[in-house]
Amino acid sequence: MSQSKNVQELIEENGVIRGVRYRGHGGWHEVRSPLTVGADGRFSRLRQLAGFEPIKTSSPMDVLWFRLPQLPEDNQKDVGLEGRASNGHLLAIINRLDYWQVGYVIPKGGYQKLREAGIEVLQKSIAELAPEFSSRLHHLHDWSQISFLSVESSRLPRWYRPGLLLIGDAAHVMSPVGGVGINYAIQDAVVAANVLSTPLKSHALHLWDLAEVQRQRELPTRIIQAFQSFMQEQIIKGALDTTRKFTTPAFLRLPIVRNLPAQIIAFGVWPVHVSH
């Protein structure tokens, strides 16, 4: 494994990707391979170099992710996702059993304004949305404890070219609404290993092998992105609108619906296993 290398070019010969050129210690270098896999995230350099254009699947928004500690009196029975909304603010709360994972959703571009106002303003807003967390908000005292995520989910119509396959956020940028990108990237990698290991070992890799990886992974990706788009367009937009009162839809208060996102986060639409 070679780390801290900056890929600058794809090596293309007769329409087939044969590897990459990168800058590292000592200047330019090449790595040649029968298959180049792009797993370089939502801002994928390989996606850009390959000329792939993603299709946006939901409106953009910004999310601040952070953790709050569990207390002995906390309810450990419900491990689903719960949402709180008030006065143009939205809080997503996930019980991770040993800590609370919290997402504070704000309109696109609102992060800098919030940060300038100070972390005390964020603490106050959280306390208003979730009063039961008031006694532990002193644990959230520095912006370094908060992960800022600019959310703009999208997917590629085609994840591959001859000699090149994109997986994970490089192929389909996932919103945190009901899905965490790393879980789906891992499942993409497992399916890719299951499908491609034999043709790679036999030096008989074909374009349809790469297409098969996308075929197996595209449906669960589209399902979760459709769910994310529905939640963002029908629920989150309304919750962030300060011009009208927001009421949480009754169906979201049903336990089976509340628990569904956490189950999807943990296991995906359906589980994927390594073939032996």
39-57+159-232: what fold? FAD/NAD(P)-binding domain (3.50.50)
- pLDDT tens readout for residues 256-270: 666 666 666 666 677
- pLDDT tens readout for residues 185-230: 999 999 999 999 999 999 999 999 999 999 999 999 998 888 777 7
- pLDDT tens readout for residues 80-111: 667 777 767 788 888 888 889 898 988 788 88
Q: How many of the other CB atoms lie within 10 Å of CB of 160?
A: 25
Lowest pLDDT segment from 46-50, 106-110, 111-115, 132-136: 106-110
Boundaries of every domain in the chain: 39-57+159-232, 61-151
Give the model's pLDDT for residue 117. Answer: 93
Q: Starting at the edge strand that comes first in sequence, how are the strands of the sheet with 154-155 ordered? A: 55-56, 154-155, 172-173
Q: Are 52 and 198 in contact (CB under 8 A)?
A: no
Pairing of strands 6-13, 16-24: antiparallel
pLDDT: is 22 or 234 the higher one? 22
What is the per-residue burial (b if ≥16 Cβ within 10 Å, else e) of 136-149? ebeebeeeeebeeb
Give the model's pLDDT for residue 145. Answer: 95
Give the model's pLDDT for residue 235. Answer: 67
